[in-house]
Amino acid sequence: MSAERRHSIRYRAYLPLRVQPSGEAGAVETLTKDLSMDGLRCMSPKPAPVASDTRLELMLATAQEPLALRAVVRWFRSMPYSDQFELGLAFEHVSPQSARRLSTYIGRVGANSLEGIPRK
């Protein structure tokens, strides 16, 4: 049994996301599956190397600019019976302004949820 390494509660969140791995020209348009103050899980049509840096643009609301974040790939896995992958991304160097926006969004999601995603 592995120890839980997350520091923040994850909440289900299906938000538009643009992922651009460092050193690659193209970005992937996808959706988040869950979100916390420390990172997120999303879908991807291709795997990403563990420990690789990425730039993210996360749409928290349609009337706002995307939230620009930097993240590192912590893990990836193929989805059974699919050609898609799941990526686990940990945020790095989050600015105070971005942290406030993220915290406000997560506060709203958390208020509408009894609790976060159960831990395994």
Place of tokens 């930097």: 70
CATH of the domain at 106: 2.40.10.220
Note whether residue 119 is domain-resident. no
State pTM to two decimals.
Answer: 0.86
Q: In the chain, how many domains are there?
A: 1
Host domain of residue 56: 11-110
Note whether residue 84 is domain-resident. yes
Note whether residue 120 is domain-resident. no
Q: Residue 54 and residue 112: Cα distance in Å, rounded?
A: 30
pLDDT tens track, the chain, 120 positions: 444 555 789 999 999 999 998 888 889 999 999 999 999 999 999 888 999 999 999 999 988 999 999 999 999 999 999 999 999 999 999 999 999 999 999 998 877 765 555 444
Q: Residue 9 and residue 114: Cα distance in Å, rounded?
A: 12
